Amino acid sequence: MRLPDFQYVEPKSIKEACLFLKEHSQESKIMSGGTDLLPSMKQKIFRPRYVAYLGSIPKLDQIEYDERSGLRIGALVKLRSLEKDPVVLQRYPVIAQAVSEVGSIQLRQMGTVGGNLSLDTRCYYYNQSDFWRKCRPRCIKMGGETCNAIGGGKKCFAVFSGDLAPVLIALGAKIKLNSAHGERSLPLSQYYTGDGTKPLALEAGEVLVDVEVPTIPERTFSTYSKYRIRRSIDFPVASVATVFTPEGKEKICRDVRVVIGAVGTRPEEAKGIEELLKGKRVESSLIEEAAEIAFKAAKPVANTASSPSYRKKMIKFFVEKALTEALNKNLP
């Protein structure tokens, strides 16, 4: 498959990029690493008139850490750089763990943090060649009126399948967005709309600039679990990020966040788990209850690899496994 014709643009500053995107918002796409955009263009999912490459903008590829404010990750930081960063490995190992699960090393050498957080939602009926899609009714995400995944639904159920977002949401990350009108900051969880057709809460001309992750409390246990068909390169079809902070020798739950991914149009915190566990000693019976909450929260449909029922079961298994590991781990 060949790329469609487009005009390549290379802004030299955030301001220049934002002004260009504001003027051409309906006919342009941003490119950082290109590992998701270019395959989609080859499939004729996107046919932008302009592709704006952000790689020449300075200071967007830096990682900074401060004891008080935490970690700042530029949107153009390569995934491989984040995976191997000494500060990230020491203080935020779950971030390095999640990044290491993204695709292959070759893809991580090109893919960026901003790109992984801004992935388009995916669906078996959408991420296909132009020829394949023409053999079926046009889906909602391609401008049609029905969702092919559920046989006529009026809502798009395309899945957000990024690896990094569930972990960063569980860690309480915020993002910074720049536009021609200025700058705004919002929790990463609010970056995702839950609308499969327009999954990101970006306004015209806005660019994701960086991610800010607060300092993790001492003794915090964190982990990321991912289910995929092919271990070497695949997107997740079910994932769970767990962050658990205990208190005292009895490991009373001081704080806990469980975020499930790849089973819906956006990463979702499993509501109810924090209320169930906070202030209590985590025991097997409570872990089972927490896993059941996550199981009920996961509502996949048949629009990607593996059956919806099995993906739900994997969510439950991942939560139970993570909390059991947190309970048994000898934290300093």
CA dihedral 197, 192, 165, 52 (to 10 degrees): 70
User: Which has more confidence, 212 or 231?
Assistant: 212
User: What percentage of the chain carries pLDDT values higher than 90?
Assistant: 88
Q: How far apart are CA 142 and CA 44, in angstroms?
A: 11
Q: What is the pLDDT of residue 246?
A: 92
Lowest mean pLDDT among 264-268, 273-277, 324-328: 324-328
For the domain 221-328, what is the CATH code? 3.30.390.50
Q: What is the pLDDT of residue 332?
A: 54
Summarize the confidence of residues 28-42 as an average pLDDT: 95
CA distances from 243 to 14, 129, 274, 293 (A): 33, 39, 11, 16
Greatest mean pLDDT among 247-251, 318-322, 323-327: 318-322
Q: Is the pLDDT of residue 31 over 80?
A: yes
Give helix 308-328 / helix 284-297 axis angle, nearest 10°: 150
Q: What is the pLDDT of residue 303?
A: 93
Q: How far apart are CA 221 and CA 208, in angstroms?
A: 29
- Distance from chain centroid for Cα 229: 18
Q: How far apart are CA 82 and CA 35, in angstroms?
A: 17
User: Pairing between strand 182-187 and 221-227?
Assistant: unpaired
- Distance from chain centroid for Cα 48: 23
User: Minimal CA–CA distance to 247: which of 213, 216, 282?
Assistant: 282
Helix or strand or coil: residue 192?
Answer: strand
Q: Is the pLDDT of residue 329 over 90?
A: no
Q: What is the pLDDT of residue 330?
A: 63
Q: How far apart are CA 326 and CA 282, in angstroms?
A: 9
User: Pairing between strand 63-66 and 70-74?
Assistant: antiparallel
Indicate the domain borders of the chain: 1-58, 221-328
Summarize the confidence of residues 303-323 as an average pLDDT: 96
Instruction: Give the bridge partners for 146, in sequence order.
Output: 139
Are the CB atoms for 148 and 136 separated by under 8 Å? yes
Q: What is the pLDDT of residue 251?
A: 80
The 3-state secondary structure of 267-301 reads CEECCCHHHHHCCCECCHHHHHHHHHHHHHHCCCC
Residue type, 195: D
If you search the block for the tokens 């915020």, which residue do you land on?
A: 174
Q: What is the pLDDT of residue 153?
A: 79
If you search the block for the tokens 């919002």, which residue do you land on?
A: 186
Q: Average per-residue pLDDT in the chain?
A: 94
pTM value is: 0.95
Q: How far apart are CA 4 and CA 42, in angstroms?
A: 7
Are the CB atoms for 244 and 220 separated by under 8 Å? yes
Q: Is the pLDDT of residue 331 over 70?
A: no
User: What percentage of the chain carries pLDDT values higher than 70?
Assistant: 99
Q: How far apart are CA 310 and CA 170, in angstroms?
A: 24
Summarize the confidence of residues 197-214 as an average pLDDT: 95
Summarize the confidence of residues 148-172 as an average pLDDT: 93
User: Which has more confidence, 151 or 52?
Assistant: 52
Q: Is the pLDDT of residue 76 over 60?
A: yes
User: Minimal CA–CA distance to 259: which of 282, 283, 236, 280?
Assistant: 236
Q: What is the pLDDT of residue 97?
A: 97
Summarize the confidence of residues 285-295 as an average pLDDT: 97
If you search the block for the tokens 């490119």, which residue do you land on?
A: 31
Q: What is the pLDDT of residue 69?
A: 93
Summarize the confidence of residues 24-37 as an average pLDDT: 93
- Distance from chain centroid for Cα 320: 22
Q: What is the pLDDT of residue 95?
A: 98
CATH class as words, domain 1-58: alpha beta
What one-character-per-residue DSSP string does 99-127 give?
A: HHTSS-HHHHHH-BHHHHHTPPPB-TTTS
